[in-house]
């Protein structure tokens, strides 16, 4: 089956784009976009993913405002229309990497938007993510991350919020390939040999695209439960990676190492503040002093997980003919909190992990600039440097 993308000479396989070079139901392709304003304590998040081997496309738009998390989700069959739209939710790529039009037209929920996501520097291609289990590739994925700004408007419960390039920060990533086995399509593990126990278990992930008044950048950490940065047989794997940019034309400055000292909100695993020290390829030292604005939100409502949809499914599962839409609201203002998945378990001790971070950046020459970024912080299980068991 031909798609509009087949018109262009960009094929990397012998089949049309509608044919995926894997039969794995974990193979998907899609986007995340974020808009942050620390003064408003508002984080808008939206994403869309195609799951070709279940023939579904799912998407979401949500806001977290002062600990109130509201999310609307969309779904339809993918091969009925090869485009990045699901009913009123539409992404249009006006200029790749530089101007992406994100719209949510009038719909049954309390959310709408008309936004231009505007790139400030080239996207950062992360190291290829590869993991195996008993000889099978359980992760085989490419991902890039990018920082930007935005303009347009968001409407929530009838209130129009103007978005300008001067006081908003915009983040994004795009990934494709096999990420991880996700219920409800996860392999029938009870019929298989036990999964291999990894030699090293990832306990911490920090992921930060950011901008200040003088520069932009991206970096991420992955550490084991003792705080060691090393390659892991894991969905992320990379010990450390990052870069500093000064617009589109100047050469990129690669970051080669980093350390962190973090302070948490009460007895939760949500961040309160911290200091991150970075070293660039020329030996220059950068310091980021971070203060969290507002309350972090949890991705459990956006549709990736089984039970994030009210029928117990996920964005890759079938919810009915035509465009399907639903929405919900949760209070995430008092971590750690409980969250019950639809037709699924109650997860206790949760902390939001997607933060609005005010960043004070000190460069190697002592120059100070102020800015903002998205700080994704995941501490999974025991992590001894901060006393988590």
pLDDT category of residue 218 using cuts at 50, 70 and 90: very high
CA distance linking residue 389 with residue 385, whole number of Å: 10
Q: Phi and psi at residue 267, in whole multiples of 5°?
A: -100, 20
Question: What average pLDDT does the segment 79-99 reach?
Answer: 97
Give this prediction's pTM.
0.96
Burial 189-208 (b: 16+ CB within 10 A, else e): eeeeeeeeeeebebbbbbbb
Q: Is the pLDDT of residue 186 over 80?
A: no
Render pLDDT for 134-180 as a digit per residue (tens, 0 to 9).
898 899 999 999 999 999 999 999 999 999 999 999 999 999 999 98
- Give the mean pLDDT of the chain: 95
pLDDT tens string 108-142: 999 999 999 999 999 999 999 999 998 988 999 99
pLDDT band at 192; cut points 50, 70, 90:
confident
CA atoms of 275 and 260, how far apart (whole Å) = 6
Q: Do 316 and 54 contact (CB within 8 A), yes or no?
A: yes
Could you read off the pLDDT of 14-47 as tens digits, one per residue? 899 898 888 899 999 999 999 999 999 999 999 9
**pLDDT reading at 10 higher than 80:** yes
**What's the pLDDT at 198?**
86
Q: List, in order, residues 6 or more apart from 98 with CB less than 8 Å away.
A: 118, 119
Q: What is the DSSP track for 256-318?
A: EEEEEEEEESTTSSSEEEEEEEEEETTS-EEEEEEEEEEEEE-GGGSSSSTTSSTTS--TTS-
Mean pLDDT of the 200-225 span: 97
Is the pLDDT at 247 greater than 90? The verdict is yes
pLDDT of residue 13: 86
Predicted local confidence at residue 20, as pLDDT = 87
Of all residues in the chain, the percent with pLDDT exceeding 70 is 100
Per-residue pLDDT at 183: 81
User: pLDDT tens digits for 341-363?
Assistant: 998 899 999 999 999 999 999 99
- Percent of the chain predicted with pLDDT > 90: 86
What band does 52 get if pLDDT is binned at 50, 70 and 90? very high
* pLDDT of 182 higher than 90: no
pLDDT for 181 equals: 82
Domains and CATH numbers, the chain: 4-386 (2.40.370.10)
pLDDT at 252 (0 to 100): 98
């Amino acid at each position: 089956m031909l798609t509009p993308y087949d018109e262009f000479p960009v094929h990397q396989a012998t089949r049309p784009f509608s044919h995926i070079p894997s039969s794995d139901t974990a193979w998907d392709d899609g986007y995340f976009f974020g808009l942050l304003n620390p003064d408003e304590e508002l984080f808008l998040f939206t994403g869309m993913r195609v799951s070709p081997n279940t023939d579904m496309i799912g998407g979401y738009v949500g806001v977290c405002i002062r600990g109130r998390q509201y999310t609307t989700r969309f779904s339809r069959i993918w091969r009925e229309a090869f485009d990045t739209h699901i009913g009123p939710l539409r992404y249009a790529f006006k200029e790749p990497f530089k101007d992406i039009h994100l719209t949510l037209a009038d719909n049954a929920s309390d959310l709408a938007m008309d936004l231009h996501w505007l790139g400030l520097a080239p996207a950062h291609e992360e190291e290829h993510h590869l993991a195996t289990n008993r000889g099978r590739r359980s992760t085989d994925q490419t991902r890039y991350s990018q920082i930007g700004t935005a303009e347009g408007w968001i409407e929530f419960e009838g209130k129009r919020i103007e978005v300008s390039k001067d006081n908003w920060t915009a983040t994004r990533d795009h990934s494709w390939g096999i990420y991880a086995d996700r219920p409800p399509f996860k392999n029938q593990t009870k019929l298989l040999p036990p999964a291999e126990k990894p030699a090293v278990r990832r306990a911490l992930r920090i992921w930060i695209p950011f901008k200040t008044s003088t520069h932009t950048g991206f970096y991420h950490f992955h550490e084991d439960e003792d705080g060691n940065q090393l390659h892991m047989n894991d969905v992320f794997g990379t010990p450390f990676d990052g870069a500093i940019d000064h617009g589109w034309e100047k050469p990129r400055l690669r970051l080669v190492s980093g350390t962190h000292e973090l302070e948490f909100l009460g007895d939760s695993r949500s961040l309160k503040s911290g200091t991150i020290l970075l070293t660039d390829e020329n030996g220059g030292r950068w310091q980021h002093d971070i203060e969290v604005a507002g309350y972090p939100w949890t991705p459990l409502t956006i549709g990736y997980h089984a039970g994030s949809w009210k029928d117990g499914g996920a964005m890759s599962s079938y919810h009915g003919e035509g465009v399907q839409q639903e929405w919900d609201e949760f209070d995430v203002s008092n971590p750690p909190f409980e969250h019950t998945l639809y037709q699924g378990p109650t997860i206790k001790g949760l902390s939001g992990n997607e933060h609005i971070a005010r960043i004070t950046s000190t460069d190697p020459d002592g120059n100070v600039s102020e800015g903002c970024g998205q700080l994704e912080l995941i501490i999974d299980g025991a992590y001894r440097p901060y006393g988590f068991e």
